[in-house]
């Protein structure tokens, strides 16, 4: 198994050059998760075409979902009221915007706006923190001191990142963001 890189500064697109360097005559499959996990990105059609084009000579490309899944999806789509989807999307959009805006106010965070998830990824600038050296220490102390749990990027192979879930009531999200902000300011390096 080989892992390809994603480019955070390009909406978490697949690193095409890196992907081409990985593909060879032993490549039999490639997994692309869209919307992305852990980053919450949604690939544009043009980017997916580039991904396929870059390694198509090595792959047998096809999608065959199980019949049971097709039956369930069809029933769900037909029988679920339209306002359920629009209400859910609006609620998630508001929560995503609230989370993104709240983290942007904290100097040690560089959040990336999610496109298709219930969480967002944020780069941590550890040089702004006093006595906290990496994302694991940051997340552990945040949980201990503020009772706020975020996933350290290390768990996803991303050093000094954090994944923040916003799939909660807006009031709870705002409270959590306030606790994160207090923690960061309390532990910021003094200039």
What confidence tens digit (pLDDT) does each residue in 45-101 have?
899 889 888 887 776 655 555 555 566 667 777 888 889 989 988 999 999 999 999
Secondary structure of residue 151 in the 3-state scheme? strand
Q: Tokens standing for 82?
A: 């339209």
How would residue 162 be classed by pLDDT, with cut points 50, 70 and 90?
A: very high
What confidence tens digit (pLDDT) does each residue in 99-113 have?
999 999 999 999 999
Distance, in Å, from the CA atom of 41 to the CA atom of 86, rounded to the nearest integer, reads: 20
Predicted pLDDT of residue 64: 54
- 12 to each of 17, 118, 151, how far by Cα in Å? 14, 16, 18
How would residue 27 be classed by pLDDT, with cut points 50, 70 and 90?
A: confident
Average pLDDT, the chain: 89
Pairing between strand 13-14 and 109-112?
Answer: unpaired
What confidence tens digit (pLDDT) does each residue in 115-131 have?
888 999 999 999 999 99
- pLDDT of residue 31 exceeding 80, the answer is yes
Predicted pLDDT of residue 60: 60
Secondary structure of residue 109 in the 3-state scheme? strand
What confidence tens digit (pLDDT) does each residue in 176-187 have?
999 999 999 999
Predicted pLDDT of residue 82: 86
- pLDDT of residue 137 exceeding 60, the answer is yes
Predicted pLDDT of residue 164: 96
Predicted pLDDT of residue 140: 97
pTM score: 0.71
Crossing angle of the two packed helices 170-186 and 135-146, in degrees rounded to 10: 110
The CATH classification number of 82-186 equals 3.90.1150.10
Q: For the chain, where do the domains classified as CATH 3.90.1150.10 start and end?
A: 82-186
Which of 179, 11, 8 lies closest to 106 in space, CA to CA? Answer: 179
- pLDDT of residue 148 exceeding 90, the answer is yes
What is the distance in angstroms between the CA of the first residue and the CA of the last residue of the chain? 46
Predicted pLDDT of residue 57: 79
């Amino acid at each position: 198994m080989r892992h390809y890189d994603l480019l955070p500064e390009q909406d978490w697109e697949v690193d095409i050059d890196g992907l081409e360097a990985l593909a060879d005559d032993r490549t039999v499959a490639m997994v692309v998760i869209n919307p992305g996990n852990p980053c919450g990105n949604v690939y544009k059609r043009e980017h997916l075409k580039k991904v396929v084009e870059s390694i198509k000579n090595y792959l047998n490309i096809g999608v065959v979902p199980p019949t049971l899944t097709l039956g369930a999806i069809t029933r769900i789509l037909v029988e679920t009221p339209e306002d359920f989807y629009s209400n859910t999307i609006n609620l998630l959009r508001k929560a995503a915007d609230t989370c993104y805006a709240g983290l942007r106010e904290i100097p040690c965070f560089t959040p990336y706006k999610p496109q298709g998830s219930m969480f967002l990824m944020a780069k941590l600038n550890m040089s702004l923190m006093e006595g906290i050296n990496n994302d694991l220490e940051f997340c552990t102390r945040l949980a201990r001191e503020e009772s706020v749990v975020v996933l350290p990027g290390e768990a996803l192979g991303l050093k000094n990142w954090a994944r923040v879930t916003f799939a909660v009531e807006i009031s709870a999200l705002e409270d959590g963001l306030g606790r994160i902000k207090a923690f960061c300011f309390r532990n910021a390096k003094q200039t």
